[in-house]
Amino acid sequence: MSRVSLKNVVVAVSFVLFSLSAYSADTASKSESFQSVCINSWMSKAEQVADKVDYKNFGEKYCACASGQPMDNQVAINKAIQVCLSQTLLHDAMDSLEEEIGLSDAKSSDLSEYCQNRWGLIYPKQTDEEKKFTTSYCACAQPKLMELIKKSETITDKEYDEAIDSIAADCSGDPKVEQQAYSMHNTSEH
């Protein structure tokens, strides 16, 4: 799936950033304003979510990521959406996995489950096509995350976080799911 195609998948989340294109991360006050507006926009969709606390936590992480991205034009906004959604999803899944199971005890099926759980959190009413996309995305990430877990005791926290970001970028560009991403964008009403 190309980077442009992931933008199509996350366009349902883009409402958070489209109205914010005038903001930039140049000053702390603008960043704080962006963060506040972003979180408020994110939470405006919380009525369809069962776990509002996890949803808000995810949104805060997503907005923190977005606040550090360039937002000077629509292309930059679309890239911020793509990058931040994918990175936040995998970081959040790995954090939950580490807290609840422990990385050393994690199995492949756990990684897939936690990845799917995060997609279900932000898209609670997925169509069959959306489920195909999220399954493909998680299938791409799962073996790479398992390899990362094996190395996690021998790398720094920064290297670990950068590896997750790299996996997020790789899987957001997986061509196997391009058609599902396109369909998810065209049918999503989240």
Tokens describing residue 99: 């807290």
**3-state class of 50 per DSSP?**
coil
Closest by CA to 138, choosing from 159, 108, 182, is 108
CA–chain centroid gap for 123, Å, is 11
pLDDT band at 14 (very low <50, low <70, confident <90, very high): very low
Q: State how far the Cα of 146 lies from the Cα of 182, in Å rounded to an integer.
A: 28
pLDDT at 33: 83
The domain locations on the chain are 3-187
| pTM reported for the whole predicted model | 0.76
Of the candidates 135, 92, 80, 88, the one whose C-alpha atom is nearest the C-alpha of residue 112 is: 135
pLDDT at 189: 41
27 Cβ neighbours under 8 A, 6+ residues apart:
none
State the CB neighbour count (10 A cutoff) for residue 106: 19
Q: How confident is the model at residue 21 (pLDDT cuts 50, 70, 90)?
A: very low
pLDDT tens, residue by residue, 27-56 = 445 556 888 999 999 999 888 888 999 999
